[in-house]
């Protein structure tokens, strides 16, 4: 059966991946791989928009790749590759940077959040959305599965693609975001109004995909809960409990309505105890595969193959874009 649509997405290799990355993004990568022609990258060029220690960057990059496989991505279905193994990303990134306006980059909420209160803000952090647009447009995908926080970057990508096509002729496909209805924004365990983030200084605010069962149990038992004691899904008035119910639903395959019905008349204590076990049961099998993939060295073969497949597509699109823009080709 031929695959229906082209799909591309990526996750930065900065720090540990959280259950938010899993629920908001990776779980959907896995779901899409059988029906669509998928490219999933590990965005290491994005990770260096904030300082990274070289050994840590290498470790995190390999770790995210192994987590892709552990979560269920099948390298015979989807191309799994490292962004820096495909030089076209940086090159098209520059071309699209020259087509981006300061004003539109200044409006990016992620830039505002990450630069807030900092004395020295790297220029890479500012131009990052143009690199992200190049990551996407090189593969001409129609669908880009992401969590809610990447929506604005996707809109900019669409604007840049439209601007390029308008100025230089049809070159890029305008992609649509694929944002899940449930789980697109998993919140911090300590503050129900803040997104769960792998760069948070407080480890109690997130569950890492590699946390041990005991760490998971401890974090969930300490997770903040709203006033009252009923397990009711109400994002406005009970954001913290609603977030925990979303995690429960996403890790067990239940809807939040089913979760609510199951805990009717019971307090937070019983619910949190079960939630911890549901999360442990979802992560434990992945952690086992993760260890196997890391110790076997198999990941390097997967990444070589992924880079080959990704380069083949990306080089073609880059050549087309450069020709359209008027770069003099090297004649033999
Ligand atoms: P990143 O690395 O911050 O996050 C990777 C993916 O995980 C989603 N996500 C979440 N979803 C739900 N709840 C959360 N708490 C949560 N935290 C993170 C993100 O929305 C994202 O889908 N710029 C991107 C990486 C990137 C990319 C791309 C994505 C680079 N190039 C091309 C798509 C296409 C980023 O920083 O995501």
What's residue 265's pLDDT? Answer: 92
> In this prediction, what percent of the chain has a pLDDT beyond 90?
91
Mean pLDDT, to the nearest integer, of 46-71? 97
Centre of ligand 1 from the C-alpha of residue 20, in Å: 9
Task: Check whether 147 is labelled as a binding-site residue.
Answer: yes
Centre of ligand 1 from the C-alpha of residue 160, in Å: 19
Per the annotation, the verdict on 195 as an active-site residue is yes
- Interval 155-167: pLDDT, tens: 999 999 999 999 9
pLDDT at 222 over 80: yes
**Domain layout of the chain by residue ranges:** 6-179+297-325, 203-291
15 lines ligand 1 (CB under 6 A): no
Candidate list 114, 151, 224, 254, residue with the active-site label:
114
What's residue 7's pLDDT? Answer: 98
pLDDT at 31 over 70: yes
What's residue 242's pLDDT? Answer: 96
DSSP character at residue 18: B
The DSSP string of 219-236 is: HHHHS---SS------TT
Q: Among residues 38, 23, 46, which one has the least CA distance to residue 73?
A: 38
247 lines ligand 1 (CB under 6 A): no
Best residue for ligand 1 mutational test, from 7, 43, 109, 142 (most atoms within 8 Å of Cβ)? 43
Task: Check whether 83 is labelled as a binding-site residue.
Answer: no
Q: How confident is the model at residue 3 (pLDDT cuts 50, 70, 90)?
A: confident
Centre of ligand 1 from the C-alpha of residue 307, in Å: 20
What's residue 225's pLDDT? Answer: 93
Q: How confident is the model at residue 198 (pLDDT cuts 50, 70, 90)?
A: confident
Per the annotation, the verdict on 198 as an active-site residue is yes
Task: Check whether 291 is labelled as a binding-site residue.
Answer: no
Centre of ligand 1 from the C-alpha of residue 317, in Å: 24
Say what the pTM is: 0.97
- Interval 75-87: pLDDT, tens: 999 999 999 999 9
In the numeric block, which tokens belong to residue 139? 């593969």
Q: How confident is the model at residue 227 (pLDDT cuts 50, 70, 90)?
A: confident
φ, ψ for residue 163, nearest 5 deg:
-65, -45
pLDDT at 2 over 80: no
Supply the residue whose CA is at minimum distance from atom 18 of ligand 1: 21
DSSP H or E segment with residue 241: helix 239-252
108 lines ligand 1 (CB under 6 A): no
CATH placement of domain 6-179+297-325: 3.40.50.620
With a CB cutoff of 8 Å and minimum separation 6, the contacts of 62 are: 294, 299
Candidate list 3, 151, 198, 320, residue with the active-site label:
198
Mean pLDDT, to the nearest integer, of 201-227? 96
CATH of 203-291, one of 1.10.10.10, 3.40.50.1980, 1.10.240.10, 2.60.260.20: 1.10.240.10
With a CB cutoff of 8 Å and minimum separation 6, the contacts of 22 are: 71, 209
Task: Check whether 93 is labelled as a binding-site residue.
Answer: no
Helix (H/G/I), strand (E/B), else coil: 20: helix
pLDDT at 1 over 80: no
24 lines ligand 1 (CB under 6 A): yes
What's residue 36's pLDDT? Answer: 97
Residues recorded for the chain: 332
Supply the residue whose CA is at minimum distance from atom 25 of ligand 1: 11
- Interval 254-283: pLDDT, tens: 999 999 999 999 999 999 999 999 999 999
Mean pLDDT of the chain: 96
Per the annotation, the verdict on 16 as an active-site residue is no
> In this prediction, what percent of the chain has a pLDDT beyond 70?
100
Burial (CB count <10 Å: 0-12, 13-18, 19+), residue 164: buried
- Interval 105-157: pLDDT, tens: 999 999 998 888 888 899 999 999 999 999 999 999 999 999 999 999 999 99
Q: How confident is the model at residue 15 (pLDDT cuts 50, 70, 90)?
A: confident
Mean pLDDT, to the nearest integer, of 1-27? 93
Helix (H/G/I), strand (E/B), else coil: 104: helix
Ligand 1 atom with the smallest distance to the CA of 148 is 20
pLDDT at 26 over 70: yes
Ordered strands of the 37-43 beta sheet: 79-82, 37-43, 6-12, 143-145, 176-178
φ, ψ for residue 264, nearest 5 deg:
-60, 130
Strand 6-12 versus strand 176-178 pairing type = unpaired
């Amino acid at each position: 059966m031929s695959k229906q649509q082209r799909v591309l997405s990526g996750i930065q290799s900065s720090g540990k991946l959280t259950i938010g990355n899993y629920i908001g993004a990776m779980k959907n990568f896995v779901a899409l791989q059988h029906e669509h022609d998928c490219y999933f990258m590990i965005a290491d060029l994005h990770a260096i928009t904030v300082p990274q220690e070289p050994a840590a960057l290498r470790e995190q990059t390999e770790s995210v790749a192994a987590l892709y496989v552990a979560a269920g991505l099948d390298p015979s279905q989807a191309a799994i590759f490292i962004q820096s193994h495909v030089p076209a990303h940086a090159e098209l990134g520059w071309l699209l940077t020259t087509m981006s306006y300061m004003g539109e980059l200044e409006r990016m909420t992620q830039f505002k959040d990450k630069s807030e209160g900092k004395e020295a803000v790297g220029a890479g952090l500012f131009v990052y959305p143009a690199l992200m647009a190049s990551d996407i447009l090189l593969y001409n995908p129609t669908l880009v599965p992401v969590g809610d926080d990447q929506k604005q970057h996707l809109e900019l990508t669409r604007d840049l693609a439209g601007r390029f096509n308008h100025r230089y002729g049809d070159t890029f496909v305008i992609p649509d975001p694929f944002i899940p209805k449930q789980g697109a924004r998993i919140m911090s365990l300590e503050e129900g109004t803040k997104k769960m983030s792998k760069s948070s200084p407080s480890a109690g605010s997130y569950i890492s995909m590699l946390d041990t069962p005991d760490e998971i149990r401890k974090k969930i038992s300490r997770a903040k809960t709203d006033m009252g004691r009923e397990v009711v899904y109400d994002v406005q008035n009970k954001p913290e409990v609603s977030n925990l119910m979303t995690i429960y639903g996403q890790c067990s395959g239940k809807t939040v309505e089913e979760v609510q019905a199951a805990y009717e008349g019971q307090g937070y204590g019983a619910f949190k105890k079960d939630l911890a076990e549901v999360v442990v049961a979802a992560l434990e099998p992945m952690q086992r595969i993760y260890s196997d993939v890391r110790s076997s060295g198999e990941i390097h073969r997967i990444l070589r193959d992924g880079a080959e497949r990704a380069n083949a597509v990306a080089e073609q699109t880059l050549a087309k874009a450069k020709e359209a823009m008027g770069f003099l080709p090297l004649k033999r």
